[in-house]
Structure 1
Amino acid sequence: MPCSRFFATVGKVALAKTMSNYGWMGSLDEFLTCSQADWLETLKTNYQRLYHQNSAGTQQQAWQDCGEILRSQLSALTRKSWTLIFEYELPGEGGRRPDLVMLGFGHIVVFEFKQNTSASNADCDQVAAYARDLSEYHQASAQHPVSAVLIPTRSVKENAARNAVQILKPTQISTYLESLPAKQPEIDPTSWVNSDYAPLPTVIEAARRIFQQEPLPNIRRAQSAGIPEILEFLDRLVQQASEKKERHLVLITGVPGSGKTLVGLQFVYQTDHNALFLSGNRPLINVLQYALKSKAFVREIRNFYIQHEARRQSAPREQIIVFDEAQRAWDSDRMSEKYGIQSAAPGTVLRICERTPDWCVLVGLIGEGQTIHVGEEGGIEQWNQGLQISIESWQVHCSPEHAKFFDQPTHTNPLLNLTTSLRSHLAQYVQTWVSHVLAGEIEQARAIMPLMIAEGFDCYLTRDLEVAKIYCRDRYQSQPDKRYGLVASSRAKNLTQYGIRNDYLSTQRLNVGAWYVEPPDTETSCCMFDRVVTEFSCQGLELDLPILGWGDDLIWQNEDWKTTNRQKNVQNPRQLRLNSYRVLLTRGRDGFIVFIPPESKMDSTFDALESAGLQRLDSIRMTKPEL
């Protein structure tokens, strides 16, 4: 069948849909009988239709090399029931597209072709991420094995495997495909390319969708984490409070990236009552306001204090208040210093909410192990202290683990402690690994690392910052929706000489909204590596792959973490440093790279993190695959 006739066979309705998200699709026989020139012309035409620009000469040369290799190799296959889909675009992913997806015998095989003699870390991780995302977020792929294959087109080396990626020289493609066992059921190609695809939204994407009244994707992991049940619980509580004239305090705790902010945003904007989303996280507010071009979406807790307590004791018009990043609730000394208010933040918020007529539901979203500011060390106990001095009667709802902090009886609900990270794709073990590392439990951390790698979470270690930058640029080439950049502790003193300007003046001048939101080729984008965010500007936010500059404020000595920093009005400076690095290590969706300055005083820190399982970025461990 000629190439030009293939699209006419799928029907008018399917034609309109399928032509919009791939470059060429056909059976193995159709590919082999299609001329190279016609095949290339179809790819170029559909690329122009998809992206409204002509494909670059380098892209066309890559297609030509790929086509020639495949024609040579696939003609030798004895099992012919394969479908080839070139340049399939992952829906809603800003142009992310694997070179080739092959469907056959119940298998989904994702190919990336690189015009290199060897496989780089970035190339391997790129194709692994394609396979991971199809397996997890693509409905038609969920029940089938998804394999990742990297082809360095100029390689003559023996085949190898790195984690879940098969690295093959071109002459071994047919051998590999023939080795795959037949699975059932078969995959319908037209249904596959039109299948639903629901990737994890970033907090910025989620906020934008909620603000624009668009549905959020139906994420399996969000469902398994109990987020829909929490929202239903909150809705029932609002109905009860309004009918019975009650006041309820709900504390939702969770690990970094577990969806606390997502819960708060959805709750506020799906309720029929007046509701307010407050945050103690000014950078998060700045980023959301920048992305949404609106200041009505969220408000800073500071303005809430000033409006309703410091200047005049007025009642808010909203009877539903969500306090995000409630672990940033200051103690009484800090509140007095900043606002002249003689009580800790939790007591102040409770007092303000008691002025609302008849009823109120106050929700506090608390990140575990994320207290990083002076005045934030009081913890969840401050909410108990606030209740002790409250005038109105409050009913308290929290997880069973946190009931012990309250003197009064509580309503416990295990759903109110979110333990699964949604940020790090499938990497449920990332939080455990970080906790072991910061607790000095290096061997336990090392034991966790293979599980993280198997889930497609990429963690590296380097002493060459340029190597890390090159990795990021290579991995996310032609993926304009991806974000990567430099993060560092605010207290490290030895990073500026390496181009990581984490000093106070530099970070204060940063336009945080532009840093997270602007496209990679924009001067103000995080992807330019010109500016740095510290723990204060990344808490509650995320990157696809951060480069963490590990500084001299937290050094491994004598089998433990040491800090030499001294801060005024801080009860436990070491714990604040550990919490800061917990925040920094948990910002990545695809993984992270740790840069350790090449200084002798940092050698032991490098060794400890390598012993904890981080792989050197300049090395790649490969094993011979079983073909």
Structure 2
Amino acid sequence: MNKSSRCLYNGSFEEFLNETEESILGTICQNYHGDIGTTSRNAWVDEISIMKNIISEFRVPNSQIIFEYDIPRLGKRIDVVLLLKGIIFCLEFKVGEKHILEADVDQVLDYALDLNNFHKYSQNKVIVPILVATKHNGASSVIQPSGYTDRVMNPLMTGTEGLYSLISMALNSFPKEEAINEKWINSPYAPTPTIIEAARSLYENHSVEDITRHEADKVYTDRTIAYVLDVIHKSKAKGEKSICFVTGVPGAGKTLVGLDVAVKQTYQGGDSPVDDEGAVYLSGNGPLVAVLTEALARDNYEKCKALNKKKTKTDSKREVGKSIQMIHRYRDNMLHKIKNPVENGKLEIDPEKAERNDTAGFGEVEHVAIFDEAQRAWTHERLAAYLKRGGTYGNKLKVPNFPVSEAAFLIWSLDQREDWATIICLVGGGQEINTGEAGISEWINAINEHFPYWKVYISPMLTEPEYAEGKVNELLEVNNNVTFSEDLHLKVSLRSYRAEKLSAFVHSVLTFNPNAKNIYEEIKDNYPIVLTRDMDKAREWLHKKVRGTERTGVLVTKEAARFKPLAIHILETGDENAVHWFLEDKDDTRSSNYLEDAATEIQVQGLELDYTCLLWDADMRYDNGKWRYYRFNGSTKWIERTGKSEKEQEQMKYMLNAYRVLLTRARAGMVICVPKGNSNMTPSGFYEDNTRLPEFYDGTYEYLKSVGLMEI
């Protein structure tokens, strides 16, 4: 028997047959970390017995059996893997079950897809997923390829009695397979998790190294995390205040970096938080925080339930909420400590409202605050208006004449600590999508004007045009505490594991760069992007693409207005709706997979799906080499935004960024639907629908077609 940290037991067929069932069970239990429930123990006993009978019929040299093989991206383990005559068999057991459930079939298919996509020594191998409901009377009768370009077979279903026959049938169907690498069990594993999957794994004490692609020439998350943690350690050692700006292409893992830093700094390798070392991950993105919190809470609740531990979902949410918070709650907690009204335009702590801590001073308990999507921090004008009326996020505290921007206030909040503090700003280029979002220049202005003694660690990419309108060098030339480091930029998209150049393609399309066609040619085979004018065809394409528990969904901009004729509704606002859309199973009508409710850039920023349909409305139209922007008046017509005012220019920038966000949400592929509009005429010779004229859409469609997108 060989030992591997990737499973609970592994050995050759001969070793497995020569070892007693009690010894094998003992090895599995010994290697399991955590409390073992009676259900799990009994299931292992049955699985070992079943596999003893099966293996005895296949005395084949160089074959392996593996129990509980770790799948870090999914946070789960495959019950049994057989490596037999060049074929990989993934077995998922449902001990005592009579019925075949779709969710169980999806589970074993997910395992097979995960190996095919991310496990180096499984690539180009025949992978056969088999669901074994031990009391089931029937069995599949056909070994059938899935119809995709990979070699993953359609899932097979059987009871205990039919398992031998299915394995034999698969071996006869593929008699000349090359041997599997003898180091298969420790193969390089290069997954690219969704942010939800990643968060689940991080909170189970995995590291980013475990759950992201890890090839030395491609990984940037590891070195960025190491650099940020080093800044934190230096700040603590020297008693300094510091701020880091981390940039990255869309989907490069900025949120993942932030979550990992929060976990590493707070727990430092242990099971419990380290006293007075805390870090908090903060985001102004309500749907992202709600979806992550709910996903982690559900996961934690189910794990405790399986171990017979008493914990409610509310308890789980409260526990998760200590490390992941809405930025407004953090901000509002500090607001309750200030003198109100503000005098002479200066923020001051009111000692009667706050108790001084020996080390924290009047600051919050965390030394480290991680602000995701820092470019979305509010301008002074928006924050002052919000506080003047008493807020809308549960904070009814009115603060007239509030003197600073949100960025300046957040730095001020950490500056109240009397020992040390570090702020990590995670910055997306061209990602500002709401009125009143200040962009990154406001953070730099705040440092220059109010906190020049803070150490600044900055990505050199912040000098690019999409960040602070390219004025970062100009803003920082007066600051002597600046250190530039390429380690603070994430160059490679992790979201689109099939197309690292997706973000470059999207940028080229939106800026009319002629290189867009060449980039598309490079990525189209591994990352399909197709074009249609028919929503039914778009839905059909998506349904054919997704397998197992992969997710799909329709996306539109918040400015979109004429989607109802296409049987599409906008997902209602409210974080709870986003939770259902992203997390519910495919048999729930609230799920994104139903392709009925479309999410906007507000609801999906920072999150992702496997396959998407971007429904391109008449709000942004291609016309003679430029984009033209429109808003719908709510009833009869579209009104063009001309950009004559500064406010309109800002709104036009947000609209372009909205499409940038939506075009980078898919991990595996997307379809873009540009409707035909309505060309029907009334008997009187007038258009039936003046809000959906073909000319509103034709230019955009022809432009995307000219880039080379394949039509369906």
On the 8 A contact 1:465/1:595 being kept in 2, the answer is: yes
Give the match for residue 308 of structure 1.
334
Report the counterpart of residue 233 of structure 2 in structure 1. 239
For residue 149 of structure 2, the aligned residue among 115, 127, 130 is: 127
**Structure 1 equivalent of residue 253 of structure 2:** 259
Identify which of 417, 436, 454 aligns with 2:508. 436
Confirm whether residue 604 of structure 1 aligns to residue 620 of structure 2: no
1:524 — aligned with what? 590
Moved more, 8-17 or 275-284: 8-17
* Structure 1 SS opposite 2:433: coil
Moved more, 604-613 or 281-290: 604-613
AA aligned to 1:274 is: G
What secondary structure is seen at the aligned counterpart in 1 of 2:670? strand
Aligned mates of 1:527, 1:89 — CA distance in 2: 19
Q: Which amino acid is 1:207 matched to?
A: A
Question: How far apart in 2 are the matches of 1:51 and 1:602?
Answer: 56
Distance 1:393 1:51 in 2: 66
1:467 paired with 2:537, answer: yes
Query: In 1, distance between residues paired with 2:107 and 2:373?
Result: 39
Name which of 502, 510, 524 aligns with 1:453.
524
Q: Distance in 2 between matches of 1:489 and 1:606?
A: 17
**Of 577, 581, 586, which residue of structure 2 is paired with 1:515?**
581
Query: Following TM superposition, by how much is the alpha carbon of 1:569 offset from its aligned partner in structure 2, in angstroms?
Result: 4.4
Matches within 5 A, 1:67-146: 93-94=110-111, 96=113, 108=124, 110=126, 126-128=148-150
Match for residue 422 of structure 2 among 336, 354, 361: 361
C-alpha separation in 1, matches of 2:98 and 2:113:
16
Which residue does 1:206 correspond to in 2? 198
Quick check: 1:14 aligned with 2:65? yes
Q: Distance in 2 between matches of 1:323 and 1:219?
A: 24
Is the alpha carbon distance of 1:469 and 1:221 closer, same or farther for their aligned partners in structure 2, counting shifts above 3 Å? farther
Output aligned runs, 1:333-412, within 5 Å: 333-340=381-388, 341-376=402-437, 378-391=438-451, 393-402=453-462, 404=473, 405-406=475-476, 407-409=478-480, 410-412=482-484
Q: Is the 8 A contact 1:347 1:389 kept in 2?
A: no
Structure 1 residue 306, shift from structure 2 partner: 1.2
The separation in 1 between residues aligned to 2:78 and 2:558, in whole angstroms, is 46
Q: CA deviation at 1:613?
A: 2.2
CA shift at 1:311, angstroms?
5.8
Partner of 1:291: 295
2: CA distance, partners of 1:254 / 1:607: 31
- 1:496 corresponds in structure 2 to 564
Residue 324 of structure 1 pairs with residue 372 of structure 2: yes
The number of aligned residues is: 507
- Structure 1 position 496, deviation (Å): 2.3
The structure whose RCO (Cα within 8 Å, separation 6+) is larger is 1
Distance in 2 of aligned mates of 1:355 and 1:49: 56
SS at match of 1:14: strand
Contact 1:347 1:387 in 2 (8 A): yes
Unaligned runs of 5+ in 2: 1-52, 70-76, 130-144, 155-172, 269-276, 298-316, 339-348, 350-361, 389-401, 463-471, 632-640, 678-693
- Quick one: distance in 1 between partners of 2:285 and 2:100? 42
User: How much does 1:188 deviate?
Assistant: 3.2
Unaligned runs of 5+ in 1: 32-42, 61-86, 114-121, 132-148, 151-172, 181-185, 618-627
TM-score between the two structures when normalised by the length of structure 1 = 0.72
Q: Distance in 1 between matches of 2:54 and 2:205?
A: 42
The 2-side partners of 1:259 and 1:491 are apart by 28
Q: Match of 1:585? A: 663
* Residue 248 of structure 2 corresponds to residue 248 of structure 1: no
User: 1:552: which partner in 2?
Assistant: 618
Separation in 2, partners of 1:237, 1:603: 52
Q: 1:284 to 1:251 in 2, by over 3 A?
A: same
CA contact (8 A) 2:67 2:80 kept: no
d(CA) in 2 for partners of 1:51, 1:542:
36
- Partners in 2 of 1:360 and 1:381 — Cα distance? 21
Contact 1:458 1:590 in 2 (8 A): yes
Query: Do the aligned partners of residues 55 and 338 (structure 1) sit closer, same or farther apart at CA in structure 2, a change above 3 Å counting?
Result: same
Q: In the alignment, what sits opposite 1:74? A: none
Cα distance in 2 between the residues matched to 1:234 and 1:51: 50
Question: What is the CA–CA distance in structure 1 between the aligned matches of 2:515 and 2:96, rounded to whole Å?
Answer: 47
Counterpart Cα distance in 2 of 1:537 and 1:51: 41
Task: Check 1:344–1:476 CA distance in 2 against 1; reply closer, same or farther (3 A cut).
Answer: same
**Distance in 2 separating the partners of 1:197 and 1:338:** 48
Counting only pairs closer than 5 Å after superposition, residues 141-156 of structure 1 correspond to structure 2 as none
Work out whether residues 8 and 15 of structure 1, in 8 Å CA contact, stay in contact via their aligned partners in 2. Answer: no
CA drift at 1:252: 0.6
Residue 507 of structure 1 contacts residue 534 of structure 1 at CA under 8 Å; is this kept in 2?
no
- Deviation track 1:399-429 (CA, whole Å, cap 9, x = no partner) reads 2243513231310001112121110003121
Kindly state the Cα deviation for residue 16 of structure 1 after the two structures are TM-superposed.
4.5
Structure 1 position 608, deviation (Å) = 0.9
Contact 2:66 2:81 in 1 (8 A): no
Equivalent residue letter for 1:266: D
Offset, 1:187 = 3.8
Amino acid at match of 1:610: K
3-state SS, counterpart of residue 261 of structure 1: helix
Supply the RMSD in Å over aligned alpha carbons: 4.0
Contact 2:255-2:372 within 8 A present in 1 as well: yes
